[in-house]
Amino acid sequence: MAVGEICNREVVIARKALSVVDAAQLMRQHHVGDLVVVEERNGRRHPVGIVTDRDIVVEVVAAGVNPDVLKVGDIMGPEVATVRESEGLFEALRYMRGKGVRRMPVVDRDGGLVGILTLDDLLSLLAEEMTELAKLVSHERQREAASRA
3 state DSSP class of 104: strand
- Count of CB atoms situated within 10 Å of the CB of 149: 4
pTM given for the model: 0.83
Query: What single-letter DSSP state applies at residue 67?
Result: G
**pLDDT string in tens for the chain (149-residue length):** 899 999 999 999 999 999 999 999 999 999 999 999 999 998 999 999 999 999 999 999 999 999 999 999 999 987 899 999 999 988 999 999 999 999 999 999 999 999 999 988 888 888 888 888 888 887 777 777 777 76
Distance CA 69, CA 136 (A): 56
Distance CA 46, CA 114 (A): 9
